[in-house]
Amino acid sequence: MISHRPFTSSVFIGTSLDGFIARADGDIDWLTSRGEAAGDTGYHEFMDGIDTVVMGRATYEKVLTFGADDWPYGGRHVAVLSTRLEAGADPRVTVYRDLDELVRGLSARGTERVYADGGQVIQSFLRAGLLDRLTITTVPVLLGTGLPLFGPLGGDVALTHRSTRDLGAGLVQSTYTIDR
């Protein structure tokens, strides 16, 4: 458990009803196609309050497939957690090898509000006590298998439900804060 940090961390993610954020091969077309049919998901408003994006190597590699001209994070600091990605290869991101190094680095930068993205990153943030808020958009599809949003924890994580709204097209978005 990492006890001291000057920033808050939030998740904003879409999942299948059975809790997968991507197919096993990383495909998210089932999400994007349904998301386009929904109304405003609140993503832009959420991003307006974020100064730093932390993602796992797998999510970073997915973002790279969007194309060089389609970097979705503007001038925000982008941190990629990876034990094997070459540091310094992409000037748009900073690679951190583990959570301790990440927390030290973000703290030194004066980070205030983090967006944590990628299933394994979210799971490791939860285990380390680094998450404060979860906004989860549930998409009306069962995938049966894939990359899970959640996984094993050191113990129960108690949440407080803050809101739920119907986004249209069968998408339902709920926000929870993590009890301390």
C-alpha span between 143 and 155 (Å, rounded): 27
55 strand-pairing partners = 80, 117
Q: Which two tokens stand for residue 67?
A: 């194309």
Q: Does 119 bind ligand NAP (CB under 6 A)?
A: yes
To the nearest whole angstrom, how small is the minimum distance from the Cβ of residue 139 to ligand NAP? 8
Query: Could you tell me which stretch among 46-54, 113-121, 156-164, 167-175 binds ligand NAP (CB under 6 A)?
Result: 113-121
C-alpha span between 169 and 103 (Å, rounded): 38
C-alpha span between 103 and 157 (Å, rounded): 21
CB closer to ligand NAP out of 26 and 170: 26
**Phi, psi angles (nearest 5°) of residue 114:** -105, 140
Q: Does 79 bind ligand NAP (CB under 6 A)?
A: no
CB closer to ligand NAP out of 97 and 162: 97
What SS3 class is residue 14?
strand
Size of the site for ligand NAP (CB under 6 A): 27
Of the candidates 19, 42, 47, 57, which one interacts with ligand NAP according to CB under 6 A?
57
Closest CA to 123 of 94, 174, 157: 157
Of the candidates 46, 51, 90, 99, which one interacts with ligand NAP according to CB under 6 A?
99
Site for ligand NAP in 144-163 (CB under 6 A): 147
Closest CA to 122 of 76, 83, 157: 157
Q: Does 141 bind ligand NAP (CB under 6 A)?
A: no
Q: Which residues lie near ligand NAP (CB under 6 A)?
A: 13-14, 21-22, 26, 28, 31, 55-59, 62, 81-85, 98-99, 117-121, 124, 147
